[in-house]
Structure 1
Amino acid sequence: MTSSPDATSPAPEAAPTAPAPARRRPSGRAVATWVSLVAMCGLLLGGMFLPVPYVIEQPGPAIDVLGEHDGERVLSISGAEQYPTTGSLMMTTVSVAGGPGYPVTPAQVIGAWFDSSESVLPRELVFPDGQSEEETSLRNSADMTTSQQDAVAVALTALGMAYHQDVMVAGVLQGGPADGVLEPGDIVVSIDGQSRTTTADYQKLTRAAPAGQDLTMVVRRAGAETTVQVPTEQVDGTTRMGIVLAPGYEFPVDVTVTVDGVGGPSAGTMFALAVYDELTPGSLTGGAAIAGTGTMSADGQVGAIGGIRQKMVGAREEGARFFLAPAGNCDEVTGHVPSGLAVVKVSTFDDALAAVETIGTTGSADSLPTCGS
């Protein structure tokens, strides 16, 4: 027997309900504590994105000096017979974040501390206090130009080719009086009709001129003399053109290195090897991919550089199997060599040349000195 709901059945009696407890309001102290915590978290979070006085060194590109970069041939030589080459002679670079105009944040610094391929340094060790972005660019450009000139001189000395020293424009300050008038690498022939033999003497001529007065300069550029009018300005009570003068050379060949966006002197060793390779029969590398770093002084000494750990990583990422490291950097090399990279210790151009010739002949660096030997 089935039944259906009875519409006339009485509704069940509702149970009595207890009164709701009164809601307790937070005390003023509790509110203040929560506000303080929220504010502190906001400050900490915001602080993670504020600039801090550090720089981060990261692996930069490894560039084959015997090849092309950004569609342009890196090394160009005219005025002498050149020979075909194979393999690679790579200059290595470091990408630096945190310099003037591009600061880093605490979040980036913390991330770099946990990345074995990066290094964190106080900014003043890399960029002196008060140095502007333009001044940094000028210094790097001047160092690169001087490095290239010394490297060419060392290579030509090894080849028995004569040249003589002169004074050159090593760098031009972006936005300075000489910007667009003079170029890095210009050889100074005279200033206001007067010729000198040293950098210091030409600087004296400039300082003696009235500020704001154009100076007539004769420079030798790409083998031809040209006369230019260079504006001047007064900086700290001294007449300046906004250039860096340095010892330079008059070579029997015209050597041009084109690597936009890269500055500093640390590619000198690889420049010297590449010039030597281009001007001698046969392939110096034997087809091997060889990278390296190190300053090159006019007397053929290989000098220590910064950021070698990052440079080794960058070289390996570009396919290098061998790496030439300055002997002065061995403490930083030991224990940080990337897998698959053989590092050779060099102290002079002769050491570097012998190492590349051995690798090119044997395909191995086993007989060569290392930082652990």
Structure 2
Amino acid sequence: MNRRIVTLLAALAPIVVLGVVGTMVTVPYVALGPGPTFNTLGDVDGKPVVDIQGTEVDPTDGNLNMTTVSVRDGLNIFEAFGLWASGSNGLVPRSEIYPPEKSKEEIQQANTADFQQSEDSAELAALHFLGKPVALTVSKVTPDGPAAGALQEGDVLVKIGDTPVTTITGVQDTVGAIAPGTAIDVTVLREGVETVVPVTVGARPNKPESGYLGVTPNEVPDVPFTVQFNLADIGGPSAGLMFTLALVDKLTPGELNGGKFVAGTGTIDSDGEVGPIGGIRYKLIAASEAGAETFLVPAQNCDEAKQNAPDGLRLVKVDNLPGAVDSLESLNTGGDAPRC
């Protein structure tokens, strides 16, 4: 073998080794990027994403898109570098997405539960906003709590003292403001009959200065129609806001989005308060690439959103459901809305 061939082989050896290592060795990172986006006013697999049965549904137009983040795992060195270099993906330590103490199945189950909770909260938030009836039931009574022997599972809470209650937060706030040791009347519907039950408020275990009943309230829709959400294989709680807006749009006259392409994200609770989410920069990219003109951003995500907003995408700051509806109605009439 002559000297030139030896030299060539010696030069190629590191390249071959690098190629093998680059394709065979995985990195302890996952890639986050723009995920699928779904129009909550549209259909998926032949079914409405938000399906309302048992009542008249107002026609809708345009888009109210929920957005997602894609997660790519098991990356080799070349794949990780390529995704990072693309500019639309980012790398984060794998342990942030898949904690080592949990299996993938456990994480998937938690994400599925969060998504189910977002669906439930979206329905309740929309019903509260529209003034539709919601029953506030007692789902559990703590055996050694202040209300043990007085309140029962299945009771429908009506008033705490003289204060009407319609939400879980309302119960917590009302009871928490009562001094421990105070005797109050709790008004409930029990087997359809309004009943007044005396209870002496206890001290909350982790906050002794606050009142405590020792019951777990649960909000249940009390309407003559049903709501079904038809998105599978989506996890996490961040679809709540857009699901809620779709329900409001379908149950009220006119087009909430003005027939235009609006996208957004955000958790929501049954009181209509909008909370922050992760991966906002990737959701903005997904929305922009899908054709969105306006993006609804949870207020706590505004700073990050401003730093990563694609050109031409209007960012509207959202604190709660009434604010989101007001902003969309203002934009539809040529007005403005709170910006990030």
Same fold (TM over 0.5): yes
Aligned residue runs from structure 1 range 155-174, under 5 A: 155-165=126-136
1:153 maps to: 124
- Note if contact 2:299-2:317 (Cα within 8 Å) is conserved in structure 1: yes
Q: What is the CA–CA distance in structure 2 between the aligned matches of 1:302 and 1:57, rounded to whole Å?
A: 23
Q: What is the CA–CA distance in structure 1 between the aligned matches of 2:137 and 2:106, rounded to whole Å?
A: 25
1:312 pairs, out of 281, 284, 287, with 284
Q: What is the CA–CA distance in structure 1 between the aligned matches of 2:40 and 2:67, rounded to whole Å?
A: 10
Q: What is the CA–CA distance in structure 1 between the aligned matches of 2:291 and 2:29, rounded to whole Å?
A: 31
Q: What is the CA–CA distance in structure 1 between the aligned matches of 2:242 and 2:301, rounded to whole Å?
A: 16
Alignment root-mean-square deviation, CA: 2.9
- Note if contact 1:150-1:298 (Cα within 8 Å) is conserved in structure 2: yes
Aligned to 1:145, the other structure's residue is in SS state: helix
Query: Structure 1 residues 318 and 25, CA, compared in 2 at 3 Å: closer, same or farther?
Result: closer
Q: Does residue 136 of structure 1 match 2:107?
A: yes
Deviations 1:37-87 (A, max 9, x none): 766544432222222111111111221101112332101112333211122
Deviations 1:317-371 (A, max 9, x none): 1111111011111221123211221111111112111112122332x6xx21212
Q: Does residue 115 of structure 1 match 2:89?
A: no
1:328 pairs, out of 279, 300, 305, with 300
1:59 maps to: 34
Query: Structure 1 residues 257 and 309, CA, compared in 2 at 3 Å: closer, same or farther?
Result: same
The alignment-based identity, stated in percent, is: 41
Aligned residue runs from structure 1 range 47-86, under 5 A: 47-49=21-23, 50-86=25-61
Matched AA of 1:309? R
- Note if contact 1:321-1:342 (Cα within 8 Å) is conserved in structure 2: yes
Query: Structure 1 residues 164 and 36, CA, compared in 2 at 3 Å: closer, same or farther?
Result: farther
1:132, CA displacement in angstroms? 2.5
Query: Structure 1 residues 124 and 281, CA, compared in 2 at 3 Å: closer, same or farther?
Result: same
TM-score scaled by length of structure 2:
0.70
- The runs of at least 4 consecutive aligned structure 1 residues that moved more than 3 Å come to 23-26, 33-43, 165-168, 194-197
- Note if contact 2:98-2:104 (Cα within 8 Å) is conserved in structure 1: no
Q: What is the CA–CA distance in structure 2 between the aligned matches of 1:81 and 1:25, rounded to whole Å?
A: 86
- Note if contact 1:61-1:315 (Cα within 8 Å) is conserved in structure 2: no
Matched AA of 2:250? E
Matched AA of 1:52? V
Query: What 5-or-longer segments of structure 2 have no aligned partner?
Result: 140-151, 156-216
Matched AA of 1:357? E
TM-score scaled by length of structure 1:
0.64
Q: In proportion to residue count, which structure has more helix? A: 2
- Note if contact 2:295-2:316 (Cα within 8 Å) is conserved in structure 1: yes
Aligned residue runs from structure 1 range 177-326, under 5 A: 249-252=220-223, 253-326=225-298
1:369 maps to: 338
Q: What is the CA–CA distance in structure 2 between the aligned matches of 1:248 and 1:111, rounded to whole Å?
A: 48
